[in-house]
Structure 1
Amino acid sequence: MAEESGQDKTEEPTAQRLSKAREDGQIARSQELPPAAMMVVATLFFTMMGQYLFTKMGGLFKSQLNFDPRTLDKAELLPAVFGNAMVDGFLIVLPLMAVLYVIAVLSTTLAGGFIFSPHLALPKFSKLNPMSGLARMFGMDALINLGKAVAKFLVVGAILLMSIMNNLNDLTNISQMDLGEAIKVSGTIIVDACFWLSLGLVLVALVDVPLQRHQLNKKLKMTKQEVRDEMKNSEGSPEVKGQIRRRQREILENKMMGKVKDADVVITNPTHFAVALSYDPTGDGAPLLVAKGEDGLAARIREEAQAHGVYLFEAPLLARALYFTTKLDHPIPEALYHAVAQVIAYVFSLNQSYGRGHEVVKPTPSIPDEMKFDANGVLMNT
């Protein structure tokens, strides 16, 4: 009963369920990965370019602290001066901002990939339901998110506290340093803090990424009845049935083509039909039809035969008779024994006389009237 009521979701989500969820924008997206990636890149940036960046910013601050008396006498010039300073400051940090923006976009799509879903832009009135809102607030997902937030706060707080304690002497003495030395010390402190902070955020992200995937997989799990219904609907789809039939036909054709190389002769129409026969002269059975085809498939059989040195015998009436009366991997009908025996004897004679200079006369197989078919499979004597 639990299974029928849709409460017991024990089955892994199918490919169709995962595809539908992705179309609806349901993907495993970690909110902890972008800040971790951005902090790592910022740390690398400060390590390589920090001295240059801090020197430029220090020069900018120093220039702004040296006021020109002529500027002070003209208040209307002050906005332009401060505006230029803001532009200069923006240009200094622009490379870092651009890099962080790119990293934010890439890291956001890293876990779940890029997806555009119009469904996400549509309003969901179900979210206005206060009962469902309370369920979300006190549900398991909310508790997990709360736990992550507390853990992240503790990790980041501990790292920042450790960084402050490690650099406490420099922080207390920085006010007594000249501007150049203060900038250098500040840069060192910032790089150190960024390093430890990025390490902590990476640890948080390493836990959150698989957690998000696990939560999404759990959310998308299905009941046995849902799986059965999906399979029934999929198998009932004309497109799926067509794909299954095409795949089955391809498998059968490939298996059949593999037998052509071992055939003794391929009898052709010559272009529209081709049948491959195999005969064991040491056995008691009749020749077997191991491959047959029409039009394009007939051309493939001829090409396969030529590639493996199987003799092509042109006999339109016999080719059509075998094609329309004999199933694949079945012996030929008794009425065609004589005609086929003529062909096989001719092919065997050719193989035996090869290189000896003996001439072998090509036979004209005689076909019974009840075995004469036209290209449409209609008896020609009716």
Structure 2
Amino acid sequence: MPDSSKTEKATPKKRQDERKKGNIFQSTDIVSAISLLSIFLILRMSLPNAYEFMQQFITRYFSYTSSMDSLSQASVIDIAKDCIGAILTLAGPVMLTSITAAIIGTALQTKLKFSKEKIKFKFSNISPLQGMKRIFSIRSIVELIKSVVKISIMIYLLYTSLLSISHDFTKMMYADVYQGVLFILENIMSIVLKLCAAFIVISALDYLYQWWEYERNIRMSKQDLKEEYKQMEGDPHVKGQQRERRRKMSMQRMMQQVPTADVIVRNPTHFAVALRYDIENDAAPIVVAKGQDYSALRIIAIAEKHNIPMTENKPLAQALYREVEVNRPIPAEYYVVLAEIMAWVYSMKRGSADIEGSK
């Protein structure tokens, strides 16, 4: 019985852990219903050809009795090969269909998840006490009720179907073998399809029950949620992954701001700081991006692509990189140096504008 304190739905991590243990809900009735339906559908489609094949096979071997005086070792081997081939021809499609249907029915529910935990030796599997608990558990009672219901439905369908066709049995006395076999097979198929339809309904209900029971068994208490949260937050690997994701997102946002810069101060490739200065809105130049080594090379490459002016100033580039955060204004002690640089940038822009105007 599940713990009454476990009232919360299972978290994704809890579900993943349960899957690793092999604890996956599935309905065996679904697999049985799909297999049964598939087998009899393939039988219904292949029976005319199977009947003709068997007729030719039996006729051919009965004809050998009039022409074969004795059996040799070679002829016995040939007959055995023919019989094995006939069995495989008749039973092969049914066997392949049954295996395929079972695999599909299982895969749809479990995604063919393999777990080593299920094949490990556990003392509880051979413990008499645990065995008695399983025998007298709620699950066993439910399985017993399901079996009784299925058997009752099967008996009822068989009884009503045989009762409805019983008056036609006397007509078989005047029919040939082929018609008799065909009549019997058609009625067998009709009964089987009714049973399959009933089992599909039962398996659908069983699937819902298995899902409900699984969800109930993996529920968590509030304390379990707190412990899981602490475990995930305290995991160095998880923290490292989170930091790396944040760093990549921050780097991407920073690189997107480089085209808005007015000038790049670099040293010459080890440090690069991108500055923007809007006279109307900014009280001082703003650092929109900064980088060292590889990040500096990326900033320089983007700046070259967008024709942003660059100046080499080793002390200033290192100081701005170490002291000023991204999207923050530069300190007052660098105003004089930056004023000269910005004046140079504006003179370059005016020169470019004059050249464009003369053209």
How far, CA to CA, are the matches of 2:87 and 2:279 in structure 1? 94
Higher helix share: 2
The answer for unaligned runs of 5 or more in structure 2 is: none
Alignment deviations for residues 249-301 of structure 1 (CA, whole Å, 9 cap, x no partner): 12322232332232222222232222121212014611111211112222333
Find the residue that maps to 2:325 and give its secondary structure: coil
Equivalence for 2:26: 29
Deviations 1:178-236 (A, max 9, x none): 22222322332233233323222222222222332222222111112122222222322
Matched residue, 1:318: 316
Asked if 1:349 corresponds to 2:350, the answer is no
Letter matched to residue 297 of structure 2: A
TM score, norm. by length of structure 2: 0.84
- 2:218 maps to which residue? 220
Contact 1:264 1:277 in 2 (8 A): yes
**1:255 maps to 2:245:** no
| Aligned-partner Cα distance in 2 for 1:266–1:38 | 71
Distance of 1:253 and 1:357 partners within structure 2 = 36
Amino acid aligned to 1:40: L
Correspondence list, 1:34-183, <5 A: 34-60=31-57, 68=65, 85=83, 87-174=85-172, 176-183=174-181
Aligned equivalents of 1:210 and 1:302: distance in 2?
61
SS of 1:147 mapped into structure 2: helix
- CA spacing shift, 1:180–1:61, aligned 2, 3 Å: farther
Instruction: Quote the offset at 1:31 in angstroms.
Output: 0.3
Task: Report how far residue 72 of structure 1 moved.
Answer: 10
User: Is 1:273 the equivalent of 2:243?
Assistant: no
Q: What one-letter code is carried by the residue in structure 1 that aligns with 2:326? A: L
**Equivalent pair of 1:275/1:292 in contact (CA under 8 Å):** yes
SS at match of 2:43: helix
Equivalent position amino acid for 1:211 in 2 = Y
Does the 8 Å CA contact 2:286/2:330 hold for their aligned counterparts? yes
**What is the identity, as a one-letter code, of the residue corresponding to 1:19?**
Q
**SS at 1:313's partner residue?**
strand
| Change beyond 3 A, Cα 1:17–1:37 | same
Q: Which amino acid aligns with 1:268?
A: R
Listed one character per residue, the Cα deviations across residues 36-65 of structure 1 (whole Å, up to 9, x for unaligned) are 212332243234323112332355566678
Question: Residues 296-375 of structure 1 correspond to what in structure 2 (within 5 A)?
Answer: 296-357=294-355
Q: How far apart are 1:80 and its partner, in Å? A: 8.5
Shift of 1:149: 2.2
SS at match of 2:275: strand
1:14 maps to amino acid: T
CA–CA distance in 1 between the matches of 2:173 and 2:117?
A: 55
| Alignment correspondent of 2:234 | 236
Where 1:348 maps in the other structure, the secondary structure is helix
- Note closer, same or farther for the CA distance 1:276–1:177 as it changes in structure 2 (3 Å cut): same
Residue 17 in 1 paired to residue 14 in 2? yes
Amino acid at match of 1:319: A
Distance 1:175 1:216, change over 3 A: farther
- Offset at residue 84 of structure 1 (A): 5.0
Q: Secondary structure at the match of 1:25?
A: coil
Residues 1:58 and 1:334: Cα distance change in structure 2 (over 3 Å): same
- Cα distance between partner residues in 1 of 2:77 and 2:156: 42
Once structures 1 and 2 are overlaid, which stretch shifts more, 174-183 or 75-84? Answer: 75-84
SS at match of 2:184: helix
**Distance change (3 Å), C-alpha of 1:164 and 1:90:** farther
1:8 paired residue among 5, 8, 31: 5
Q: Could you tell which deviates more after superposition, 245-254 or 77-86?
A: 77-86
Give the structure 2 partner of residue 363 of structure 1: none
- TM-score (norm: length of structure 1): 0.80
Identify if the C-alpha distance between structure 1 residues 67 and 197 changes in structure 2 by more than 3 Å, giving closer, same or farther.
farther
Q: Matched residue pairs, number?
A: 353
Q: CA separation of 1:71/1:11 partners in 2, compared to 1, >3 Å: closer, same or farther? A: farther
Whether the aligned pair in 2 keeps the contact of 1:28 and 1:212 (CA below 8 Å) is: yes
Whether contact under 8 Å (2:288, 2:326) holds in the other structure is yes
Is contact 1:265-1:276 (8 Å) kept?
yes
Identical residues among aligned pairs (%): 28
Please name the residue that 1:366 is paired with: none
1:199 aligns with 2:187: no
Counterpart amino acid of residue 198 in structure 2:
G
Matches of 2:259 and 2:150, distance apart in 1? 68
Any gaps of 5 or more consecutive residues in structure 1? 1-5, 359-382
